[in-house]
Structure 1
């Protein structure tokens, strides 16, 4: 059943949305929006406009502005425990952190002496460890980075412990690992594989792992994407997974059941929960950014 901008597949979805809340377009005129990150101290959203090599920002009452130019083709963004911006950069093929004084420090750029491909998305767990994916989208052409040969022989997933300078590889059997998110208690890690973007018959699913002492175990497919492929996604306070898709945002129960969709006119790349109550979904979609209030809060701090 369709209702306004929603498609309800399971009655449980009705309690997760605000049916009378409009889908708002808050920004446009980008080439490919990605990596939304919300900063509650300023009630501000930051995101990447990758091909334009810039980062943008939006805040209520202030509208849209440029956050950073010459952004090293940044992609995924998040906050660390000190409220600092942590970013995946295609241009420098690294994970960087913006310090409180505005300077940008490279946290890690190599694994076992070889450069990463093009870090794509990242999250910070409760211990301050940065988990990130490293597909090769940013080195395949000069559109979202700089064309180059990969040095690692594949596209993998890594973790960088707080205060460390060397990352460890935590998963090495993905085609193109993409978005990732923890369950609310961090006992499970979800990781998207969007390999179908460039490999015929490739994966278009989200996998889930059990997390034991920082080690990923018991890999299994959580969901197969029914329209497009999963890119970025987030988890709400009840463990439901809200994923990007070709036709909007798909919401899945912790058991992998499709509960419903938020329908958008553009292909969705990523999303995050924000707003002062963490009940506002910010969605990056092709050339635009949208927002909608929902009936649930995002997981985490």
Structure 2
């Protein structure tokens, strides 16, 4: 009888230890999957001659295109280390994104800009995709993303510019491939960064109002197959801190967001549920970020007057990616 009890106790102990081992391994794997930046990765400033940099996008030529709000779009070539002017004037371009055909789509803002969304063909021709909704001019198109159907989602706040406003609401819009413009999201104060999840089922929006008591939220909207959205969820509230400007996603669905100021300025990495996984401090106030590099493991960051980069442990996500 005693031997049987000892045997049962021993078996139970082994069973518990086995489960502990499984749980430990699972926890370790989860922790490893959340490692975004390698321990030996260093943040490198590759260019610093701008007025106010914004909206980086990785192009089909493996160069990084970004806006200098001083009215030009620049191109950084990682192979040569040189930065050249791609388009000037840019119409006060801000957010940039490439479509499936490798054409640059740009949000052009106010404050002397064109207040429209344009596409630059490979021959340099600039075409207007949308500059009005129901006959009224946009406030100041800011940032954008494109889904697998070629639909463009962009934010239209008004931060600067004395131009008369024709649309009262600061909203998020959708441009369909046939040119139809839909006012999609209006339950925000000042929509800024927008990004679509890897599975195409969530539209993330940064509501960033710097006024006293203003919203500084990371929001998630269910994104339906027809391009419509469901009720929003608040994933994170920055409260009194500077909220999110621009953002991008990795292949795991994590959100890399440019936010914060002072010693809290940097890239905040959120899980799809809104949990902060890690933080990368930047020397200047960050505005936006995008993945680049042939292996999609280099994060480019616009901040202050500069363009930065850092190697990552995860691959970046994009609906359209250059294919050599």
Higher relative contact order (CA 8 A, sep 6+): 1
Give the drift of 1:15: 2.5
Alignment-derived partner of residue 311 in structure 2: 293
Alignment-derived partner of residue 37 in structure 2: 17
Alignment-derived partner of residue 264 in structure 1: 282
Alignment-derived partner of residue 221 in structure 1: 234
Which of 210, 218, 233 is the aligned partner of 2:222? 210
Asked if 1:94 corresponds to 2:116, the answer is yes
Task: Give the number of the structure whose residues are more often strand, by fraction.
Answer: 1
- Partners of 2:121 and 2:36 in 1: how far apart? 36
- Partners of 1:13 and 1:231 in 2: how far apart? 26
Task: Give the number of the structure whose residues are more often helix, by fraction.
Answer: 2
- Partners of 2:173 and 2:78 in 1: how far apart? 35
Any unmatched runs of 5+ in structure 1? 1-9, 142-146
Q: 1:12–1:259: 8 Å Cα contact kept in structure 2?
A: no
Alignment-derived partner of residue 64 in structure 1: 83
Per-residue CA distance 1:116-165 (angstroms, 9 max, x = gap): 0110001110000010000012xx33xxxxx2121111101100111x22
Q: Which has the larger radius of gyration?
A: 2
Alignment-derived partner of residue 7 in structure 1: none
TM-score computed with the length of structure 1 as normaliser: 0.90
- Partners of 1:240 and 1:283 in 2: how far apart? 16
Asked if 1:44 corresponds to 2:68, the answer is no
What SS does the aligned partner of 1:35 have? strand
For the aligned residues, what is the CA RMSD?
A: 1.4
Give the drift of 1:298: 1.1
TM-score computed with the length of structure 2 as normaliser: 0.83
Alignment-derived partner of residue 237 in structure 1: 251
What SS does the aligned partner of 2:230 have? strand
Asked if 1:29 corresponds to 2:59, the answer is no
- Partners of 1:133 and 1:245 in 2: how far apart? 17
- Partners of 1:112 and 1:32 in 2: how far apart? 32
What SS does the aligned partner of 1:126 have? coil
Per-residue CA distance 1:85-131 (angstroms, 9 max, x = gap): 00001111100000121110011100000000110001110000010
Distance change >3 Å, CA 259–CA 12, structure 1 → 2: farther
What SS does the aligned partner of 1:218 have? coil
What SS does the aligned partner of 2:231 have? strand
